[in-house]
Amino acid sequence: MGRIKSALVILIAFTSLAFAVDLTLEPKSKGPEVVEATL
């Protein structure tokens, strides 16, 4: 169980990190509407 939980946490962290980088690189293409829809 612990391994699956760790993998899930890493996956979520990586996904949010990738999204944050994408948001930083392209602020114009992604408006507040997109951010709210994702959250």
Q: From 8, 18, 28, 25, select the one nearest 38 (Cα to Cα).
A: 18
- Global pTM? 0.50
pLDDT tens digits, residue range 20-30? 888 777 656 55
Q: How many angstroms separate the CA atoms of 1 and 6, rounded? A: 9
Interior angle at CA 4, CA 12 and CA 17, nearest 5: 15
The model's pLDDT over 1-39, given as tens digits with 9 standing for 90+, comes to 789 999 999 999 999 988 888 877 765 655 566 656 655
Domain ranges of the chain: 2-38
Q: Are 22 and 30 in contact (CB under 8 A)?
A: yes
- pLDDT in the model for residue 21: 81
The pLDDT of residue 18 is: 87
